[in-house]
C-alpha cells in the first residue's frame, strides 16, 4: 500500500496489515517530528572538566560525567607501590584503597599482636584459664590442621573419613597427654587423627 510521510512528504510503501497505523516513512522522520513538542524537547549539552586529564569535554546536561573518555576512566585509580606494615614486602595496590598489608596472613598476625590482653575489646582482666588460652592459640590450630593433613583426614583407628554421604567429626589426639608433656604439645609426631567415637575411648572423661 502506498502512503505519504507526514514529515518529509515523500511517498513510501507499507504492507496492508501495518499501513493503517503508519504515519512516517522511517524512524528518523518520526523522531524529527517530535522535536519541540511537550515532553520531547531536544537534550541540552554542557561543558565539564575531566578529573584525570583536566581537559574540557562536552556531554548531555542530564549526565553527571566526570571523565572525557574511556581511557581517562581507566586511569582514575592507578596502581601504586606500597610496603607491608608487618613484613616490609613491597606490593602493588590501587591508589584509592587504603591497603597496608601484602596479604591476609600478615594482616591477621599483626592484628592479633595489636589486640592482645587489655587492648582487646573482650578483655576481662585475664580471668580465662591458661589451659583454654593455649588451646585457642593459632599455634594449636596450625598443629591440629597439620595432623589432619598428614593423616589424610582419616581416623587412624577405624579408618572413617568424610565423603560418599558420610560425615565424620575428626579430632586431633595427643599420644602423650597435653598435661603430662608440655614440650610436645605442638609436636606433629605426638598427634594422631581420630574420629569422635575413637577419641572418647582414649580418655576416661567425656568431652
Express each pLDDT in 47-105 by its tens digit. 999 988 999 998 888 778 889 998 898 888 888 999 999 999 999 998 888 899 999 99
For residue 78, give the C-alpha cell.
Answer: 592507578
Residue 174 lies in a domain: yes
Per the structure, the count of domains in the chain is 4
pLDDT, average across residues 12-23 = 82
Confidence at 39, pLDDT banded by 50, 70, 90: low
Q: Tell me: do 66 and 84 sit in the same domain.
A: no
Q: Tell me: do 115 and 150 sit in the same domain.
A: no
Q: Tell me: do 175 and 145 sit in the same domain.
A: yes
Q: What is the span of the domain harbouring residue 109?
A: 79-119
**Percent helix, strand and coil across the chain, each rounded to 5?**
30, 20, 50
Residue 128 lies in a domain: no
**Residues ≥6 apart with Cβ < 8 Å to 190:** 174, 175, 176, 181, 184
Residue 127 lies in a domain: no
Please check the confidence at residue 26 and state whether its pLDDT lies above 80.
Answer: yes
Domain boundary among 91, 119, 147: 119
Q: Tell me: do 29 and 12 sit in the same domain.
A: yes
How far, in Å, CA of 43 to CA of 55, rounded? 23
pLDDT of residue 56: 92
Residue 159 lies in a domain: yes
- SS3 of 197, please? helix
pLDDT of residue 42: 57
Q: Tell me: do 147 and 193 sit in the same domain.
A: yes
Q: Tell me: do 70 and 86 sit in the same domain.
A: no
How far, in Å, CA of 30 to CA of 8, rounded? 10
How far, in Å, CA of 134 to CA of 137, rounded? 5
Amino acid at each position: 500500500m502506498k502512503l505519504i510521510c507526514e514529515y518529509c512528504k515523500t511517498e513510501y510503501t507499507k504492507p496492508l496489515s501495518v499501513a493503517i497505523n503508519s504515519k512516517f516513512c522511517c524512524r528518523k522522520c518520526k523522531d524529527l517530528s517530535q522535536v519541540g513538542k511537550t515532553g520531547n524537547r531536544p537534550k541540552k549539552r554542557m561543558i565539564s572538566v575531566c578529573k584525570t586529564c583536566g581537559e574540557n569535554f562536552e556531554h548531555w546536561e542530564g549526565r553527571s560525567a566526570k571523565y572525557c573518555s574511556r581511557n581517562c576512566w581507566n586511569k582514575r585509580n592507578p596502581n601504586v607501590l606500597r610496603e607491608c606494615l608487618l613484613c616490609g614486602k613491597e606490593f602493588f595496590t590501587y591508589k584509592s584503597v587504603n591497603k597496608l598489608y601484602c596479604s591476609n596472613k600478615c594482616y591477621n598476625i599483626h592484628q592479633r599482636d595489636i589486640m592482645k590482653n587489655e587492648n582487646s575489646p573482650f578483655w576481662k582482666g585475664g580471668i580465662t584459664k591458661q589451659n583454654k588460652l593455649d588451646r585457642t592459640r593459632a599455634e594449636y590450630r596450625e598443629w591440629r590442621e597439620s595432623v589432619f593433613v598428614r593423616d589424610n583426614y582419616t581416623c587412624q583407628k577405624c579408618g572413617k573419613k568424610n565423603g560418599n554421604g558420610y560425615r565424620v567429626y575428626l579430632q586431633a589426639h595427643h599420644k602423650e597427654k597435653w598435661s603430662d608433656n608440655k614440650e610436645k604439645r605442638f609436636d606433629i609426631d605426638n598427634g594422631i587423627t581420630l574420629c569422635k567415637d575413637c577419641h572418647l575411648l582414649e580418655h576416661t572423661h567425656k568431652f
